[in-house]
Chain A
Amino acid sequence: DTGVSQNPRHKITKRGQNVTFRCDPISEHNRLYWYRQTLGQGPEFLTYFQNEAQLEKSRLLSDRFSAERPKGSFSTLEIQRTEQGDSAMYLCASSSTGGTSGNTIYFGEGSWLTVV
């Protein structure tokens, strides 16, 4: 148990619907990341927060995707007007700057999205 919590773990939605995933990072981790993983591939970076500021976004993050971390703690990833190509596992990860864990990035268990 890495301590990064994601929910829901599984979501099945119809094409065109909106979905939202929540991530609770390890307590006091100021850095938070979202990745996406499709079957047979390694995780791909989507976006990064330091505290509440979204500092980096991948070009994979289309306009239909939005991520927030309003208070620098939990984060949400929303996908609007879902498409079948959005079907994937969405991974959240967190890390701290320094401290006993150094900058090691810890991942959650992921949220599976199936768009039908």
Chain B
Amino acid sequence: LAKTTQPISMDSYEGQEVNITCSHNNIATNDYITWYQQFPSQGPRFIIQGYKTKVTNEVASLFIPADRKSSTLSLPRVSLSDTAVYYCLVGDMGNTGFQKLVFGTGTRLLVSP
């Protein structure tokens, strides 16, 4: 399973755009990139998933360059409620077997007023 590297923590202010970059140099051809958000004492919440280029949903955007060795989660206009830990994971989609997510320590995002 490809390992990921992401910043331990980030600080931002309300209304700003936050970009969290994740490195995954050993990503395999079949691997997808998935981001989860986790609040204290809650389970991880799926945010977004992608394979290449750009994916956007109502919560975030995911930018993946052509070499796929990194990805950037973009959170537009963050609010205080976006303060959480964000995990970047890579792995196959489980089409050839089960999908074992390997979590790192994530990025702790603190949004201040």
Contact = CB atoms under 8 A, between A and B. Distances in A.
Interface residues on A, range: 20 to 34
Given A40-B105, A42-B103, A104-B49, A56 B43 contact: no
A42 B99 contact: no
Contacts of A48: 98, 100
B41 A56 contact: no
Contact of A110 (B43, B99, B102): B43
Contacts of B41: 89, 110, 112
B80 interface: no
Given A40-B105, A103-B93, A45 B45 contact: no
Nearest to A96: B94
A25 interface: no
Contacts of A107: 36, 43-46
Interface of A: 2, 4, 31, 33, 35, 40-45, 48, 50, 55-56, 89, 91, 93, 95, 97, 102-110, 112
